[in-house]
Chain A
């Protein structure tokens, strides 16, 4: 990904717009994201050493925890976008909410997979009925449902309004699920993540680099994803306008007969 991040220079200036979703801002952001990812790989896989109890598996933490941050940030931006859409009915916030939810689901996939791969060598199992794990799994499916609703064939405003309502109540639901699951598992055992083992300076640094890298990648992808969403919305509207015009032309002819 590091090579594809920096988009080629924009097309020569003129009336023709550049045929891609890059811009000066995304190129700069993409450059920093690429550097951060490269540094993170270098420090996470090479410079930092294994941990005392977890061994090499601690390296999975450098991607696991940052993907949690990116996924939750993604879902939070969806909530913000949905609330603002319901107040202002602005297409911008609707599309931002949609784009961010997709990235949230993407990062949530990464967080579940990297977590399971960390769990196997550390706990001996891929999955534990830990409150955090369990509520994250429910959260994951919740937002997959949100994306499924967004893909439905509906008039654009109807779809946006329903998606915004779902975006708001999904977040409320996440909180309810989180607390009820915590209560459920709390009866049987304490929290079992076991991350409070000794972590040295270089390991902290790698982890911190991972956090910066993932958040930069999220921001960069969000810009591109939003632009793609905006462009497809424009195409949908253009198609609708064209169909209306054709319909009108037909009825005009019909009147002439």
Chain B
């Protein structure tokens, strides 16, 4: 009973988190290459 709502809800939330994480990490990599070491603070 009501499994379809559970399936849609879980896929939306965890799918959304996965997508957000993917794009966030990718953007981090792209930006990271463009910043020289002397300006890298808070990164470790």
Contact = CB atoms under 8 A, between A and B. Distances in A.
Given A92-B42, A228-B28, A113 B12 contact: yes
A17 B18 CA distance: 26
A65 interface: no
A1 B18 contact: yes
A20 interface: yes
A121 B8 CA distance: 13
Contacts of A234: 35, 39-40
A221 B20 contact: yes
Given A109-B16, A235-B35, A60 B9 contact: yes
B10 to A, nearest CB: 7
Contacts of A4: 18, 21-22, 25
B28 A227 contact: yes
Contacts of A106: 16-17, 20
A130 B9 CA distance: 20
Interface of A: 1, 4-5, 7, 15, 17-25, 37, 41, 45, 50, 55-57, 59-60, 63-64, 67, 92, 106, 109-110, 113-114, 117-118, 120-121, 217, 221, 224-228, 230-232, 234-235, 238
Interface of B: 1-3, 5-6, 8-10, 12-14, 16-18, 20-22, 24-25, 27-29, 31-35, 37, 39-44
29 contacts: A4-B18, A4-B21, A5-B21, A21-B25, A23-B43, A24-B44, A37-B14, A41-B10, A50-B1, A56-B5, A60-B9, A106-B16, A109-B16, A113-B12, A114-B12, A117-B12, A221-B24, A224-B24, A225-B24, A226-B42, A227-B28, A227-B42, A228-B28, A228-B31, A230-B41, A230-B43, A234-B40, A235-B31, A238-B39
